[in-house]
Structures are given as structure tokens and as C-alpha cells.
Amino acid sequence: MVQVVKVLVTGGQASPGPPLGPAIGPLGLNVKQVVDKINEATREFQGLSVPVKIIVKEDRTFEIEVGVPPVSALVKRTLRIEKGSSQPTRTIVGNLTMDQVIEIARMKRNQSLSYTLREVVKEVLGTCNSMGITVEGKSPKEVIREIEEGKIEIPEE
């Protein structure tokens, strides 16, 4: 029987303590091996909360599936800020370029229910709007409108 353990770890900083150790210890896995593999797989998301699935097979071998941090965490990392604005309509805490928005959308694309990169970009812009982040000096709502009107092209892959 295959078992799946889902945990949220800090990228590159998983440890044998909670939540990981207690979740996988009873499954008979070498906790250090699992922690090392998770840290290696999540290194690029250093310091961010990352969803991880540990798939444990009957023979006690395991696989790691690493998710992508939430859009808000990716935006904060890109802008090197601690948190979004508490008053997003009044206080702006950062400004992204359109290229940065598209890059974040590419990271999240496989986890999104949207069919196109264009739609995922609009999801990222929605998050920016609620965080008090502008895009190239404009409100995210204005950027979404420009995408809808065809003034801003989003490359499809």
C-alpha cells in the first residue's frame, strides 16, 4: 500500500523535528535521508514555505514531490519585502516589472486551474492588487484591463 504524507516545510531548511519527523517516523523511513532529499529539492525556494508530498511505497522507498510556494510568497521574495500592505488601496509597498509577473506566473502555471499563461498572469496580478503592489507603476487592475484590451501581449508557450 502506498502512503502519501503532505507537509509544509521551509525551503532548504527542513529538519527531523515537527512537522516532518512525527509524520514520517512511524512509516519506517530513514528520517535523515528524507530530510536531506527534501532540502536538496527545495533549495531554490530558500526561506519560503513549500508544500511537499512524500510518497512512501510498500518496500519503504520514497519519492518527493515539491510544490510551488503561494504567489504572495513569490512576490515578496522577488521584491525582497517582509509583507504586503495592510491598506493595499492606499499604501503601495512595491513595484514589479511585467517580466517578473510573467516569471511568477510561469512558476505557478502547473498548479493553476487556468488553461493559459495569460490567465495565470491575471491571477498573479490579482494577488498583487490585494498586496499593495503596482506593476510598472500602474495598478494591477489597470494592467489586467490592458491585457484584456490587447495593449499588453502575454507570450504563450
Buried b (16+ CB within 10 A) or exposed e, 109-136: beebeeeebbebbbbbbebbbebbbbbe
Q: What is the identity of the amino acid at 71? A: V
Contact 129, 141 (CB under 8 A): yes
Q: Do residues 106 and 154 lie in contact, with contact meaning Cβ atoms separated by under 8 Å?
A: no
Domains and CATH numbers, the chain: 3-66 (3.30.1550.10), 71-148 (1.10.10.250)
Alpha-carbon gap, residue 121 to 26, rounded angstroms: 42
> What string of pLDDT tens digits covers the 157 residues of the chain?
889 999 989 899 999 988 888 888 888 889 999 999 999 999 988 888 899 999 999 888 999 999 989 999 999 999 999 999 999 989 999 999 999 999 999 999 988 889 999 999 999 999 999 999 999 999 999 999 999 999 999 988 6
pTM, two decimals, is: 0.78
The residue count of the chain comes to 157
> Chain centroid to CA 116: how far?
18
DSSP string, 86-120: SSTTT---EEE-HHHHHHHHHHHGGGSS-SSHHHH
